[in-house]
Protein backbone atom coordinates (compact mmCIF):
# COMPACT_ATOMS: atom_id res chain seq x y z
CA UNK A 1 0.00 0.00 0.00
CA UNK A 2 1.16 3.56 -0.61
CA UNK A 3 3.06 5.52 2.01
CA UNK A 4 0.90 7.51 4.38
CA UNK A 5 3.35 10.41 4.60
CA UNK A 6 3.40 13.54 2.49
CA UNK A 7 7.20 13.64 2.64
CA UNK A 8 9.57 11.05 4.10
CA UNK A 9 10.14 11.75 7.75
CA UNK A 10 8.08 14.94 7.98
CA UNK A 11 5.47 13.24 10.14
CA UNK A 12 2.53 14.81 8.31
CA UNK A 13 -0.30 12.89 6.67
CA UNK A 14 -1.10 13.79 3.09
CA UNK A 15 -4.53 15.52 3.28
CA UNK A 16 -5.92 13.60 0.30
CA UNK A 17 -4.71 10.27 1.58
CA UNK A 18 -5.92 11.09 5.08
CA UNK A 19 -9.43 11.68 3.69
CA UNK A 20 -9.34 8.39 1.80
CA UNK A 21 -8.14 6.40 4.80
CA UNK A 22 -10.72 8.20 6.95
CA UNK A 23 -13.38 6.18 5.13
CA UNK A 24 -12.00 2.92 6.53
CA UNK A 25 -14.25 2.77 9.60
CA UNK A 26 -17.36 3.40 7.51
CA UNK A 27 -16.34 0.69 5.04
CA UNK A 28 -15.65 -1.84 7.83
CA UNK A 29 -19.05 -1.09 9.37
CA UNK A 30 -20.80 -1.52 6.04
CA UNK A 31 -18.99 -4.71 5.04
CA UNK A 32 -19.48 -6.34 8.45
CA UNK A 33 -23.23 -5.77 8.38
CA UNK A 34 -23.42 -7.05 4.82
CA UNK A 35 -21.30 -10.16 5.39
CA UNK A 36 -21.57 -10.96 9.11
CA UNK A 37 -17.84 -11.63 9.20
CA UNK A 38 -15.08 -9.36 10.47
CA UNK A 39 -12.43 -11.28 8.57
CA UNK A 40 -14.35 -11.00 5.30
CA UNK A 41 -15.12 -7.33 5.98
CA UNK A 42 -11.43 -6.60 6.43
CA UNK A 43 -10.63 -8.45 3.19
CA UNK A 44 -13.28 -6.44 1.34
CA UNK A 45 -11.87 -3.16 2.59
CA UNK A 46 -8.32 -4.17 1.66
CA UNK A 47 -9.51 -5.09 -1.84
CA UNK A 48 -11.41 -1.81 -2.12
CA UNK A 49 -8.31 0.20 -1.28
CA UNK A 50 -6.20 -1.95 -3.59
CA UNK A 51 -8.50 -0.99 -6.47
CA UNK A 52 -8.22 2.68 -5.53
CA UNK A 53 -4.45 2.58 -5.48
CA UNK A 54 -4.35 0.61 -8.74
CA UNK A 55 -5.66 3.74 -10.49
CA UNK A 56 -3.40 6.46 -11.76
CA UNK A 57 -3.33 9.85 -9.96
CA UNK A 58 -5.22 11.32 -12.93
CA UNK A 59 -7.99 8.69 -12.57
CA UNK A 60 -8.20 9.30 -8.82
CA UNK A 61 -8.45 13.06 -9.29
CA UNK A 62 -11.33 12.55 -11.75
CA UNK A 63 -13.46 10.99 -8.99
CA UNK A 64 -15.46 13.83 -7.43
CA UNK A 65 -16.45 12.02 -4.23
CA UNK A 66 -13.86 9.37 -3.31
CA UNK A 67 -15.88 8.18 -0.31
CA UNK A 68 -18.87 7.41 -2.53
CA UNK A 69 -16.60 5.56 -4.97
CA UNK A 70 -15.11 3.46 -2.18
CA UNK A 71 -18.57 2.63 -0.85
CA UNK A 72 -19.79 1.62 -4.29
CA UNK A 73 -16.82 -0.66 -4.85
CA UNK A 74 -17.05 -2.22 -1.39
CA UNK A 75 -20.80 -2.75 -1.80
CA UNK A 76 -20.33 -4.52 -5.13
CA UNK A 77 -17.58 -6.75 -3.73
CA UNK A 78 -19.85 -7.65 -0.80
CA UNK A 79 -22.74 -8.41 -3.15
CA UNK A 80 -20.55 -10.78 -5.17
CA UNK A 81 -19.35 -12.46 -1.97
CA UNK A 82 -22.90 -12.88 -0.69
CA UNK A 83 -23.93 -14.53 -3.94
CA UNK A 84 -21.04 -16.99 -3.80
CA UNK A 85 -21.43 -17.50 -0.04
CA UNK A 86 -24.76 -19.22 -0.49
CA UNK A 87 -23.12 -22.17 -2.20
CA UNK A 88 -20.16 -22.11 0.19
CA UNK A 89 -22.37 -22.13 3.29
CA UNK A 90 -24.25 -25.15 1.99
CA UNK A 91 -20.95 -27.00 2.42
CA UNK A 92 -20.22 -25.46 5.83
CA UNK A 93 -20.07 -28.07 8.60
CA UNK A 94 -23.00 -27.53 10.97
CA UNK A 95 -24.74 -24.20 11.50
CA UNK A 96 -23.23 -20.93 10.23
CA UNK A 97 -23.53 -17.93 12.55
CA UNK A 98 -22.30 -14.35 12.14
CA UNK A 99 -18.94 -13.58 13.68
CA UNK A 100 -19.44 -11.94 17.10
CA UNK A 101 -17.74 -8.68 18.03
CA UNK A 102 -16.88 -7.40 21.53
CA UNK A 103 -17.43 -3.92 22.85
CA UNK A 104 -14.38 -1.81 21.96
CA UNK A 105 -13.76 -1.10 25.67
CA UNK A 106 -13.49 -4.84 26.28
CA UNK A 107 -10.97 -5.64 23.56
CA UNK A 108 -8.14 -7.74 24.96
CA UNK A 109 -5.78 -7.44 22.01
CA UNK A 110 -4.56 -4.31 20.25
CA UNK A 111 -5.31 -0.76 21.26
CA UNK A 112 -6.01 2.19 18.98
CA UNK A 113 -2.85 3.62 17.53
CA UNK A 114 -0.53 0.72 18.27
CA UNK A 115 -0.66 -0.73 14.76
CA UNK A 116 -2.34 -3.95 15.88
CA UNK A 117 -5.89 -2.73 16.45
CA UNK A 118 -8.49 -5.31 15.52
CA UNK A 119 -11.21 -4.57 12.94
CA UNK A 120 -13.73 -5.16 15.76
CA UNK A 121 -12.57 -1.87 17.26
CA UNK A 122 -13.87 -0.11 14.15
CA UNK A 123 -17.37 -1.62 14.27
CA UNK A 124 -19.97 0.72 15.71
CA UNK A 125 -22.26 -1.28 17.98
CA UNK A 126 -25.95 -0.43 17.59
CA UNK A 127 -29.23 -2.24 16.97
CA UNK A 128 -28.16 -2.99 13.38
CA UNK A 129 -25.34 -5.21 14.60
CA UNK A 130 -26.93 -7.29 17.37
CA UNK A 131 -26.92 -11.01 16.69
CA UNK A 132 -30.68 -11.33 16.24
CA UNK A 133 -30.60 -8.63 13.55
CA UNK A 134 -27.63 -10.21 11.74
CA UNK A 135 -29.29 -13.63 11.79
CA UNK A 136 -32.38 -12.18 10.10
CA UNK A 137 -30.14 -10.53 7.51
CA UNK A 138 -28.80 -14.02 6.73
CA UNK A 139 -32.30 -15.08 5.66
CA UNK A 140 -32.45 -12.39 2.97
CA UNK A 141 -31.40 -12.64 -0.63
CA UNK A 142 -28.07 -10.90 -1.37
CA UNK A 143 -29.83 -8.06 -3.20
CA UNK A 144 -32.35 -7.58 -0.37
CA UNK A 145 -29.61 -7.46 2.20
CA UNK A 146 -27.49 -4.95 0.32
CA UNK A 147 -30.44 -2.70 -0.54
CA UNK A 148 -31.78 -2.76 3.02
CA UNK A 149 -28.46 -2.19 4.80
CA UNK A 150 -27.37 0.59 2.46
CA UNK A 151 -30.70 2.43 2.59
CA UNK A 152 -32.21 1.73 6.01
CA UNK A 153 -29.02 1.46 8.07
CA UNK A 154 -26.59 3.76 6.25
CA UNK A 155 -29.21 6.08 4.69
CA UNK A 156 -27.97 5.94 1.11
CA UNK A 157 -30.61 7.13 -1.40
CA UNK A 158 -32.08 4.45 -3.66
CA UNK A 159 -30.48 6.08 -6.70
CA UNK A 160 -27.04 5.29 -5.24
CA UNK A 161 -28.13 1.86 -3.99
CA UNK A 162 -29.27 1.06 -7.53
CA UNK A 163 -25.78 1.70 -8.90
CA UNK A 164 -24.37 -0.87 -6.46
CA UNK A 165 -27.07 -3.53 -6.77
CA UNK A 166 -27.42 -3.16 -10.53
CA UNK A 167 -31.21 -2.63 -10.48
CA UNK A 168 -33.51 0.33 -10.83
CA UNK A 169 -34.18 2.60 -7.84
CA UNK A 170 -37.78 1.36 -7.82
CA UNK A 171 -36.64 -2.25 -7.70
CA UNK A 172 -34.25 -1.44 -4.84
CA UNK A 173 -37.09 0.22 -2.97
CA UNK A 174 -39.08 -3.01 -3.28
CA UNK A 175 -36.10 -5.05 -2.09
CA UNK A 176 -35.79 -2.88 1.01
CA UNK A 177 -39.53 -3.14 1.68
CA UNK A 178 -39.35 -6.93 1.48
CA UNK A 179 -36.36 -6.91 3.86
CA UNK A 180 -38.25 -4.74 6.34
CA UNK A 181 -41.09 -7.25 6.40
CA UNK A 182 -38.61 -9.98 7.32
CA UNK A 183 -37.23 -7.84 10.14
CA UNK A 184 -40.69 -7.05 11.54
CA UNK A 185 -41.77 -10.69 11.36
CA UNK A 186 -38.76 -11.78 13.41
CA UNK A 187 -39.04 -9.07 16.06
CA UNK A 188 -40.74 -9.74 19.38
CA UNK A 189 -41.73 -7.41 22.22
CA UNK A 190 -38.86 -5.16 23.26
CA UNK A 191 -37.23 -6.15 26.55
CA UNK A 192 -35.59 -3.36 28.60
CA UNK A 193 -31.80 -3.55 28.47
CA UNK A 194 -31.53 -3.95 32.25
CA UNK A 195 -33.88 -6.94 32.22
CA UNK A 196 -32.01 -8.47 29.27
CA UNK A 197 -28.77 -8.24 31.26
CA UNK A 198 -30.46 -9.66 34.35
CA UNK A 199 -31.78 -12.71 32.46
CA UNK A 200 -28.34 -13.41 30.99
CA UNK A 201 -26.78 -13.12 34.46
CA UNK A 202 -29.39 -15.50 35.90
CA UNK A 203 -28.70 -17.93 33.06
CA UNK A 204 -24.98 -17.80 33.89
CA UNK A 205 -25.63 -18.56 37.56
CA UNK A 206 -28.02 -21.43 36.80
CA UNK A 207 -25.57 -22.87 34.27
CA UNK A 208 -22.70 -22.70 36.74
CA UNK A 209 -24.89 -24.39 39.36
CA UNK A 210 -26.02 -27.02 36.80
CA UNK A 211 -29.58 -26.23 37.85
CA UNK A 212 -31.84 -27.68 35.15
CA UNK A 213 -35.05 -26.38 36.66
CA UNK A 214 -33.70 -22.83 36.99
CA UNK A 215 -32.52 -22.88 33.37
CA UNK A 216 -35.91 -24.12 32.17
CA UNK A 217 -37.58 -21.27 34.06
CA UNK A 218 -35.44 -18.71 32.23
CA UNK A 219 -36.07 -20.13 28.77
CA UNK A 220 -39.08 -19.65 26.53
CA UNK A 221 -40.82 -23.03 26.03
CA UNK A 222 -40.07 -22.78 22.30
CA UNK A 223 -36.52 -21.49 22.72
CA UNK A 224 -33.77 -22.47 20.29
CA UNK A 225 -30.02 -22.80 20.89
CA UNK A 226 -27.72 -22.80 17.87
CA UNK A 227 -24.01 -23.60 17.91
CA UNK A 228 -21.36 -22.88 15.27
CA UNK A 229 -18.23 -25.00 15.40
CA UNK A 230 -17.44 -24.85 11.69
CA UNK A 231 -16.24 -28.46 11.77
CA UNK A 232 -13.17 -27.30 13.71
CA UNK A 233 -14.55 -27.94 17.20
CA UNK A 234 -17.55 -29.88 18.47
CA UNK A 235 -20.98 -28.25 18.33
CA UNK A 236 -24.54 -29.50 17.96
CA UNK A 237 -25.00 -30.17 14.22
CA UNK A 238 -28.56 -28.83 14.36
CA UNK A 239 -30.29 -26.29 16.61
CA UNK A 240 -31.43 -27.61 19.99
CA UNK A 241 -35.10 -26.79 20.48
CA UNK A 242 -37.27 -26.57 23.57
CA UNK A 243 -36.53 -25.23 27.06
CA UNK A 244 -35.95 -28.60 28.74
CA UNK A 245 -33.72 -29.97 25.99
CA UNK A 246 -31.63 -26.80 25.98
CA UNK A 247 -31.32 -26.79 29.79
CA UNK A 248 -30.16 -30.40 29.90
CA UNK A 249 -27.80 -29.81 26.97
CA UNK A 250 -26.07 -26.91 28.74
CA UNK A 251 -25.83 -28.81 32.03
CA UNK A 252 -24.24 -31.71 30.16
CA UNK A 253 -21.80 -29.31 28.51
CA UNK A 254 -20.82 -27.91 31.90
CA UNK A 255 -19.70 -31.37 32.92
CA UNK A 256 -17.73 -31.95 29.72
CA UNK A 257 -15.71 -28.72 29.56
CA UNK A 258 -12.64 -28.94 31.82
CA UNK A 259 -11.96 -25.88 33.97
CA UNK A 260 -15.11 -24.16 32.78
CA UNK A 261 -15.40 -20.48 33.65
CA UNK A 262 -18.18 -18.20 32.40
CA UNK A 263 -17.83 -14.44 32.17
CA UNK A 264 -20.29 -11.70 31.28
CA UNK A 265 -19.32 -9.72 28.20
CA UNK A 266 -20.93 -7.40 25.71
CA UNK A 267 -21.59 -9.36 22.51
CA UNK A 268 -22.58 -7.28 19.47
CA UNK A 269 -23.75 -4.48 21.71
CA UNK A 270 -25.87 -6.62 24.05
CA UNK A 271 -25.26 -8.61 27.26
CA UNK A 272 -23.77 -12.01 26.49
CA UNK A 273 -21.48 -14.66 27.89
CA UNK A 274 -18.04 -16.01 27.13
CA UNK A 275 -17.12 -19.56 28.15
CA UNK A 276 -13.49 -20.40 28.89
CA UNK A 277 -11.74 -23.70 29.47
CA UNK A 278 -8.64 -23.29 31.64
CA UNK A 279 -8.55 -19.64 30.58
CA UNK A 280 -8.90 -20.33 26.85
CA UNK A 281 -11.92 -18.88 25.07
CA UNK A 282 -14.11 -21.73 23.77
CA UNK A 283 -17.45 -20.02 23.08
CA UNK A 284 -19.08 -16.61 22.74
CA UNK A 285 -22.82 -16.57 23.37
CA UNK A 286 -25.43 -14.04 22.34
CA UNK A 287 -29.03 -14.02 23.56
CA UNK A 288 -32.38 -12.85 22.24
CA UNK A 289 -34.95 -12.07 24.91
CA UNK A 290 -38.70 -11.69 24.48
CA UNK A 291 -41.64 -11.68 26.91
CA UNK A 292 -39.28 -11.93 29.88
CA UNK A 293 -37.77 -15.20 28.68
CA UNK A 294 -34.70 -16.19 26.67
CA UNK A 295 -35.92 -17.03 23.19
CA UNK A 296 -32.68 -17.63 21.28
CA UNK A 297 -29.12 -18.55 22.21
CA UNK A 298 -26.35 -18.36 19.62
CA UNK A 299 -23.07 -19.97 20.64
CA UNK A 300 -20.10 -19.33 18.35
CA UNK A 301 -17.36 -21.90 18.89
CA UNK A 302 -15.53 -21.76 15.57
CA UNK A 303 -12.05 -20.56 16.64
CA UNK A 304 -11.64 -18.65 13.38
CA UNK A 305 -14.53 -16.42 14.47
CA UNK A 306 -13.20 -15.84 17.98
CA UNK A 307 -10.05 -13.93 17.00
CA UNK A 308 -11.15 -10.58 18.51
CA UNK A 309 -11.94 -12.37 21.78
CA UNK A 310 -8.64 -14.20 22.19
CA UNK A 311 -6.24 -12.89 24.79
CA UNK A 312 -2.85 -11.74 23.60
Say which range, 114-128, 166-180, 272-286, 290-304, has the weakest mean pLDDT. Answer: 114-128
Provide the number of structural domains found in the chain: 2
Same-domain pairing of 154 and 269: no
Same-domain pairing of 139 and 259: no
Q: Which helix H or strand E contains 57, and what residues bound it?
A: helix 57-61
Q: Span 10-15, mean pLDDT?
A: 48
d(CA 100, CA 11): 36
pLDDT (tens digit, 9 = 90+) per residue, 188-221? 788 888 999 999 999 999 999 999 999 999 999 9
d(CA 64, CA 67): 9
Point out the domain boundary residue: 130, 155, 186.
186
Q: Span 276-292, mean pLDDT?
A: 93
Same-domain pairing of 221 and 239: yes
Same-domain pairing of 291 and 227: yes
- Single pTM value for the model: 0.86
Same-domain pairing of 199 and 166: no
Same-domain pairing of 250 and 280: yes
| CATH number of the domain within which 237 lies | 3.10.450.50
Burial class of 242 by CB neighbour count within 10 A (0 to 12, 13 to 18, 19+): middle
d(CA 231, CA 93): 5
Same-domain pairing of 135 and 28: yes
Domain ranges, residue 276: 193-309
Domain assignment present for 7:
no
Point out the domain boundary residue: 154, 186, 218.
186
Same-domain pairing of 129 and 237: no
Same-domain pairing of 79 and 179: yes
Q: What is the pLDDT of residue 9?
A: 42
User: Predicted confidence band at 104 (pLDDT cuts at 50, 70, 90)?
Assistant: low
Say which range, 50-64, 155-169, 184-198, has the weakest mean pLDDT. Answer: 184-198
Q: Span 251-266, mean pLDDT?
A: 92
Mean pLDDT, the chain, as a whole number? 87
Domain assignment present for 6:
no
d(CA 216, CA 38): 34
Domain assignment present for 2:
no
Q: Is the pLDDT reported for residue 6 higher than 60?
A: no
Q: Span 272-291, mean pLDDT?
A: 94
Same-domain pairing of 72 and 163: yes
Q: Is the pLDDT reported for residue 152 higher than 60?
A: yes
pLDDT (tens digit, 9 = 90+) per residue, 171-194? 999 999 999 999 999 887 888 889
Same-domain pairing of 39 and 130: yes
Higher pLDDT, 74 or 256: 74
Domain assignment present for 291:
yes
Point out the domain boundary residue: 141, 163, 186.
186
Q: Using a pLDDT cut of 90, give the percent of the chain over it.
A: 70
Q: Span 137-154, mean pLDDT?
A: 96
d(CA 153, CA 198): 29
- Compute CA distances 295 → 102, 210, 216, 240, 263, whole Å: 21, 20, 11, 12, 20
Domain assignment present for 1:
no
Same-domain pairing of 47 and 148: yes
Amino acid sequence: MMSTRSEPGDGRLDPGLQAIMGERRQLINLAYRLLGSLADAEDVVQETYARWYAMSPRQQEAIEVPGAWLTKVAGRICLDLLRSARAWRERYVGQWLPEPVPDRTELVGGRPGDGSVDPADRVTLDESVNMAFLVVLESMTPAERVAFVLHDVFRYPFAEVAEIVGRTPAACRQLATSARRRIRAAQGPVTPAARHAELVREFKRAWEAKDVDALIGLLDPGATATGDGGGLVSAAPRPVEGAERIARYFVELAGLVPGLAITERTVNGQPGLVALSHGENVAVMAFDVASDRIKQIWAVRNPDKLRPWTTS
